Structure 1
């Protein structure tokens, strides 16, 4: 049977087809093919061009095999993972392909293939070859670079533009992970104007009439390819943003600032795109940009440089992004943000019976963090300039609560608003700490500008959901007052817990009365309801529930381990620091048992110390209550059943104090043995001062 026109019409089993298959088998198994390096190079080149004779049933399979083999050989040579016998042989193959046959031009030609698999494999192979040539000669392929410039300037959605976007993204990732920062600057300088033109086409900066229509046209449902192209552009924007953090002051190009410059258009894309995956991708890009965590999924080991080394536009760009967000919220942007039901493997989970649909918590958290961090930047800028931005921030915060209540039926008006932080971020430690830190900054700014006394400030903070005492107490409850989990947070670099914790302890030592009030509030009905609903509100994530009862005046103590990462650590019975390795530790106090609902060994061994601490704190609390003015006591009594008994408040306070006391003791022990990763002297001093407050 004859093949398609131009394919040679060779029958299956022809020498050319069989030879290429043999080469593939040999290279995959690590053995040397019988053909010479020049012959193998010729076969691979013909395969990439689609000229290897094959029957119709094989379609583009041999082209894909050829591309895959070139990619594998190039990757193995770059990583030096080949055997000594194969290394010179494969090097000769690539020499023939690149120098004698101009393989890169053929790879780029395949970018425009209608077969998406071939187009993608060509882009993948070209990226690998670009990186290999960089290692060999220290230069970027001019043919590949020129094709990217042409595609970006034309800005025509299609396979070629998609392949160029993906290829550039991949090359930049490899350069950044390989610490080739000087090459990054050279490459981006050559592409800067073309990338600017591309972003202006897909993400128009202006707010003139027709901007929304242009964005809607770019991501119209009639052309899913346009949505795919935009998502590839968003991936590239994240890499460009990450490069500005990783390269620091060494490189400062407009293309690296595109996410911030086009932030208004990205917000419009979130609200106006007809495709949900585009909305979500744009929102996640903005979230990572405002958190300064662009590239966190792939930039392993590449920590952003210190603030002093960042480029000259860093602060102005951050303020530009924050201002764009607050302006959009003031223009009712949140009303147009769509949040679908939570997705699972295989699609959206079916709702059974009267079960409420679970919202997409990834979207909810992204929106919340974007707003909270933008508000934090706003108040920091306002504080530096002496401007009071409290009213604007307060309005934005209220808009956020309305949005969350609209999108999640578990968050009702009866729910204490400070609990929303724990409900929304309970299974994402890093996001929860970022949100808590942002809300703390917002609270401190409001406290400074309001002119209210401490009691009124805290009451207003609770109504706005930003009382730092409530947030810290909820954090302690979510980890069952387990000091070892707080120690994990202190040591881990995955969250900003250390920064948050130190700032909060400084405030706590100055406002102990506010913390004791929060402990009393923890027994209120709206607080308890929130904790009971935390599993449902989280969007269906599985978490371990730990319940134990202590015989303390008949009181039942119940706690839930909410963060998913924390749950894993508890279930495994291990921590970042193995306390049993210290001869000063008590092994039986380190044991964690979650096999039954009763108290664990840890909790049983703690009861005696807890009882003693409760008596001490309880006595102080009662003495404080006896000395309060009658008007204050009457006001508290008028609040009625919403407040728990004084005994329950003392119990919560005692557990919190004991947790921090145990944390101080274990950090001191580790510091003594020189096992702590940094100098904790300031932290230990703060913890000791807090203990004295009790």
Structure 2
């Protein structure tokens, strides 16, 4: 008798598996299954509920029944996801589309499948819980696109769970599901639907975030203690941070259309997020919160998944400026109260996990965290300077104090700056692998410098000396950039065309300042040029910080001079012949776009007219993903050993050790004609070549926007150079 029941149960399970397998296979082939739509819907519904048709649960071995139920549930939920996704993408033939619509009609209207899927949110099996959330999200998105109201069952369940805020699988599933729906709406630019959905969840989301991110520091600490008792609280926090990023991105996309409290949580609760970074016991939670704040201050939330043209609408919601100012002030207040001292920086991780570090290798800090902390502080200072009024020595002291706190933090993290007298070079070293972050840091430091220039009342010589002491001399940063690309103008052209960085805005603002302070640039070039000594770059296993940071040593040089002929490995690599972002001689025509640059010398103003958003044919290519080979050693005598040969840079990021060696001055080959390898000459030649190639591309109508103002600046700089040489 028992054998008969077991055989019947096995047969029933086999029939369910066969039915679901055939349906799935037919959908992959684009054909209709042989079963009726109503019969398929019954099998799917039974599988989602964890029931096998015709099977007596009490007479079936519990382990076998549980295993069968889990597998059938996973298959059934996945099949629902597949059906709805195919309908959303309109990838099915008319006959198959009608068949799928019939299945969904039976499942959601006659059987109320949505309620059954939502019940699986609290399943102990995390796979089932996640698959259910994924399927529900797809179904809700499909219904919204069909101009149907949001599922009341889903909305009520999420609102209820958000108000209760009890950590667990149900909360995780609700947070993930809402995040996924919002993300899909953002990608599709469905702004009206997005606004209505956000309004429906605004109060509950505010309550949820107020629970996990209270305003008072003591309450945040207690919250961390309370949620830490949950086994998976770290995952819950990370899901909440993902939701915050989507909400913040929605505020940029919706622009002036809507302005809800939930969309401003990242800014309004920034102090709590900073406390999470300093007090959380889970390092990955600290890191995720830090990266969220970094993207928020850079206005790049959602850049990993949102469409760039959607995020760059240019419209700002009502309280945008106030929110950005609040975020910047929270960061600066925290830094003033020694927040940096509490930021944890662990050893760098690897794709294979962590590895044991030998004693002689030294510390290898997580440079993603170091860059995020540095950019968060630098951009907060820039925002504070732009929004806060007042001038004078007190403001200069305040700004310099923040910079000194940053350098002290970097020294604490095993970045030995004590033997490197010039702080400016560490900008290139720290952001070497990330060209977009490098440009953001350079732009922020340039704004800080201009503020220093405006408030300090120092003369030009004293101003640049003080700027070098604080690490924000723009001439040094620009020279380091040119040296890192071996003075190759074609890489500058890549940056001017690329939409991945803010190089265009930074470059034009710097050129305007350079036009007014050519003597300062000349002096910086003279201090950098070393006719009888030069610096060699060597890898140091004792100083590599996770392949991305290094201890710097600087010997044998006058401590009062800036001798930073540095070529940061991994920054913007030297160029190999003919390997660039685009093939300039064969580029298709791009629609020209106006780029008006004010010729008024207003150093403290942001060049807002340079907010150029151009479209270039083909997918964008990340410059930092390229690997360039070194130029011939004869033209890089200041940067390499006499007998060194060009080698391709290692795949992993790393930074150099600065090491001065007493050598005889080699005979260096000229770059072009009479031009010597002097730093000033190479810099001027680089910009001259850039002007020539941009002019040629403009003549052929191959440049993606109107570069007339840029060309004027470059021409004026050539005149400054000629006048300087004639004196």
Fold match, TM over 0.5? Answer: yes
Corresponding residue for residue 432 of structure 2: 426
Q: Show the 5 A alignment for 1:374-523.
A: 374-383=380-389, 389-523=395-529
Q: Does the 8 Å contact 2:297/2:327 carry over to 1?
A: yes
Corresponding residue for residue 653 of structure 1: 680
Structure 2 SS opposite 1:302:
helix
In 2, Cα distance between equivalents of 1:514 and 1:13: 81
In 2, Cα distance between equivalents of 1:138 and 1:16: 32
Residue 704 (structure 2) pairs with residue 677 (structure 1)? yes
Q: Does the 8 Å contact 2:371/2:430 carry over to 1?
A: yes
CA deviation after TM superposition for structure 1 residue 655, in Å: 0.7
Structure showing the higher helix proportion among its residues: 1
In 2, Cα distance between equivalents of 1:213 and 1:464: 38
- 1:534-563 deviations in whole A, cap 9, x for unaligned? 9955631599xxxxxxxxxxxxx9974744
- 1:483-518 deviations in whole A, cap 9, x for unaligned? 111111111111000000000000111111111222
In 1, Cα distance between equivalents of 2:224 and 2:444: 31
CA deviation after TM superposition for structure 1 residue 608, in Å: 5.0
In 1, Cα distance between equivalents of 2:405 and 2:247: 31
Alpha-carbon spacing, 1:573–1:369, altered in 2? closer, same or farther (3 Å)? same
In 1, Cα distance between equivalents of 2:2 and 2:322: 65
CA deviation after TM superposition for structure 1 residue 350, in Å: 3.2
In 1, Cα distance between equivalents of 2:384 and 2:536: 30
The counterpart of 2:234, out of the listed 224, 227, 243, is: 227
Alpha-carbon spacing, 1:432–1:216, altered in 2? closer, same or farther (3 Å)? farther
Q: Does the 8 Å contact 2:393/2:455 carry over to 1?
A: no
Residue 38 (structure 2) pairs with residue 33 (structure 1)? no
Corresponding residue for residue 238 of structure 1: 245
CA deviation after TM superposition for structure 1 residue 346, in Å: 1.7
In 2, Cα distance between equivalents of 1:524 and 1:48: 74
In 1, Cα distance between equivalents of 2:88 and 2:238: 29
Corresponding residue for residue 633 of structure 1: none
Structure 1 SS opposite 2:423:
coil
Q: Does the 8 Å contact 1:127/1:171 carry over to 2?
A: yes
The counterpart of 1:579, out of the listed 571, 579, 584, is: 584
Corresponding residue for residue 43 of structure 2: 43
In 1, Cα distance between equivalents of 2:345 and 2:200: 39
In 2, Cα distance between equivalents of 1:531 and 1:233: 44
CA deviation after TM superposition for structure 1 residue 115, in Å: 0.5
Corresponding residue for residue 338 of structure 2: 332
Q: Does the 8 Å contact 1:50/1:60 carry over to 2?
A: yes
CA deviation after TM superposition for structure 1 residue 27, in Å: 2.6
The counterpart of 1:150, out of the listed 148, 160, 182, is: 160
In 2, Cα distance between equivalents of 1:693 and 1:561: 29
- 1:572-609 deviations in whole A, cap 9, x for unaligned? 943233134389xxxxxxxx9949965699x99x9655
Structure 2 SS opposite 1:579:
coil
In 2, Cα distance between equivalents of 1:442 and 1:579: 36
Q: Does the 8 Å contact 2:276/2:286 carry over to 1?
A: yes
In 2, Cα distance between equivalents of 1:542 and 1:102: 56
The counterpart of 2:280, out of the listed 273, 282, 286, is: 273
CA deviation after TM superposition for structure 1 residue 353, in Å: 5.9
Corresponding residue for residue 267 of structure 2: 260
Aligned length: 628
Corresponding residue for residue 629 of structure 1: none
Q: Does the 8 Å contact 1:469/1:518 carry over to 2?
A: yes
Alpha-carbon spacing, 1:156–1:662, altered in 2? closer, same or farther (3 Å)? same
Alpha-carbon spacing, 1:577–1:534, altered in 2? closer, same or farther (3 Å)? farther
The counterpart of 2:135, out of the listed 91, 114, 125, is: 125
Give unpaired runs (5+ residues) of structure 2. Answer: 56-63, 551-563, 589-626, 637-644, 647-667, 722-727
In 1, Cα distance between equivalents of 2:454 and 2:537: 31
Q: After the TM superposition, which of the residue ranges 351-360 and 196-205 deviates more from structure 2?
A: 351-360
Residue 357 (structure 2) pairs with residue 351 (structure 1)? yes
Q: Does the 8 Å contact 2:587/2:702 carry over to 1?
A: no
In 1, Cα distance between equivalents of 2:406 and 2:2: 66
Corresponding residue for residue 191 of structure 2: 181
Corresponding residue for residue 315 of structure 1: 321
Q: Which has the higher contact order (CA 8 A, sep 6+)?
A: 2
Corresponding residue for residue 556 of structure 2: none
Alpha-carbon spacing, 1:9–1:25, altered in 2? closer, same or farther (3 Å)? same
Corresponding residue for residue 713 of structure 2: 686
Residue 354 (structure 2) pairs with residue 292 (structure 1)? no
Corresponding residue for residue 612 of structure 1: 674
CA deviation after TM superposition for structure 1 residue 270, in Å: 0.2
CA deviation after TM superposition for structure 1 residue 51, in Å: 1.1
In 2, Cα distance between equivalents of 1:65 and 1:503: 58
Give the TM-score, by structure 2 length: 0.81
Alpha-carbon spacing, 1:301–1:164, altered in 2? closer, same or farther (3 Å)? same
Q: After the TM superposition, which of the residue ranges 30-39 and 467-476 deviates more from structure 2?
A: 30-39
Superposition CA RMSD, Å: 3.2
In 2, Cα distance between equivalents of 1:185 and 1:423: 43
Q: Does the 8 Å contact 2:365/2:414 carry over to 1?
A: yes
Alpha-carbon spacing, 1:563–1:66, altered in 2? closer, same or farther (3 Å)? same
- 1:432-480 deviations in whole A, cap 9, x for unaligned? 0000000000000011100111111111111101000000000111111
In 2, Cα distance between equivalents of 1:52 and 1:26: 22
Corresponding residue for residue 24 of structure 1: 24
CA deviation after TM superposition for structure 1 residue 524, in Å: 6.9
In 1, Cα distance between equivalents of 2:32 and 2:587: 54
Corresponding residue for residue 212 of structure 1: 221
Q: Does the 8 Å contact 1:502/1:683 carry over to 2?
A: yes
In 2, Cα distance between equivalents of 1:297 and 1:593: 25
Corresponding residue for residue 660 of structure 2: none
Give the TM-score, by structure 1 length: 0.84
Residue 70 (structure 2) pairs with residue 60 (structure 1)? yes
In 1, Cα distance between equivalents of 2:433 and 2:673: 31
